[in-house]
Amino acid sequence: MSKIGDTTLLIDLIALEHNYWFLKSRLAQETKFLAVVKAFAYGSDMITIAKKMERLGIDYFAVAYVKEGVLLRNAGIKSPILVLHPQPVNFGELIHHSLEPSIYSPKNLKLFLEIAKDKKQIDYPIHVKFNTGLNRLGFWENDVDFIVEHLRDRKELKVVSVFSHLAASEDASEKPFSLTQIETFKKISEELNQKLGYAPFRHMLNTSGIINYPEAQFEMVRSGIGLYGYGNDKAIDAQLKPVAILKTIISQIHKIEPNESVGYNRAYKSDGYKITATLPLGHADGISRQYGNQKGHVLIKGRKAPIIGNVCMDMIMIDITDIDCKEGDEVVVFGQNQSAEDFAESANTISYEILTAISPRVKRVIINS
């Protein structure tokens, strides 16, 4: 691995491929696989990740918003792209770029029908989302008749999938709730199929669902965080590989005397002679102020160096008193011997947040391409 000279997010495509095949190995051969690449592929590099996944033979992509799908199309991605949270103002652009909308409300169904009619579409693919307990987006169970009534004898739209989302697939204590969601979804999809007169494919499982509810694979599954190396389960995490590796360097080293302070608001005060190092990343790079003051640590030569004082916009300070290192030495924030989950837990948050928070100004370098 090449030596870095400043703060860098390394993106390991061999790790991505490993995670994909690990998750695929838990599926039936005929089950389709959707890769979630929203939020710049969980803070990494959406276009690079999508191109790699397309070479691996992915069946579908999912993004949150239309503009993300447009970026993929403009980069040459040909695979189907599901837009999970499209806004009506972007429906025309969505059709122009052959993106496929999640239709989750009566209002959006009626609006999209009118746009499709205006653009003279025939059998334009849509994905109908039902709310089975997450209470975020989705039609209710009793909306089936409304959906069928608006699609009957209309040539503009074709329901290609029906889907829902588990609320707590990673939480064993919520298994009864998850099983109720799955049964509700089965009931809804069966009713919808009967009344539509055809059978759209179904998908409900996210990464933790793939791991914990294999009996509910239906015709497709969706994975986001698992592809990037995290399974919301330590045993599974041990079998996955982090795709994103955040590294930086030591900019300067200081010797601190007893009772001296470090950083804004003098948030850290030394209880003895200390040696500190300043690193070139801060909350503008995605390391928020919830870290610092002994919450969170980085690794230097495999040893833990706690973050001290308040995180600055462009810098953090660490305690290296017991570590033999020098200015210019490499520092691992997360990814190697310290996962993003480990780093996030120290500040009472989750891997999703730290991964997606990494700023665009942090240089991305693709490795193992």
Active site residues: 38, 264
DSSP H or E segment with residue 299: strand 297-300
C-alpha distances in Å from residue 364, one per residue of 46, 312, 343, 367 = 11, 22, 20, 10
CA distance 229 to 82: 22
- With the CA atoms of 229, 232, 236 and 240 taken in that order, what torsion angle do they form, in degrees rounded to the nearest 10? 0
CA distance 208 to 212: 6
Determine the 3-state secondary structure of 155 from DSSP: coil
CA distance 127 to 4: 44
CA distance 320 to 23: 39
| CA atoms within 13 A of residue 107's CA, in its CB half-sphere | 6
CA distance 102 to 162: 9
Question: In the beta sheet, which residues pair with residue 266?
Answer: none
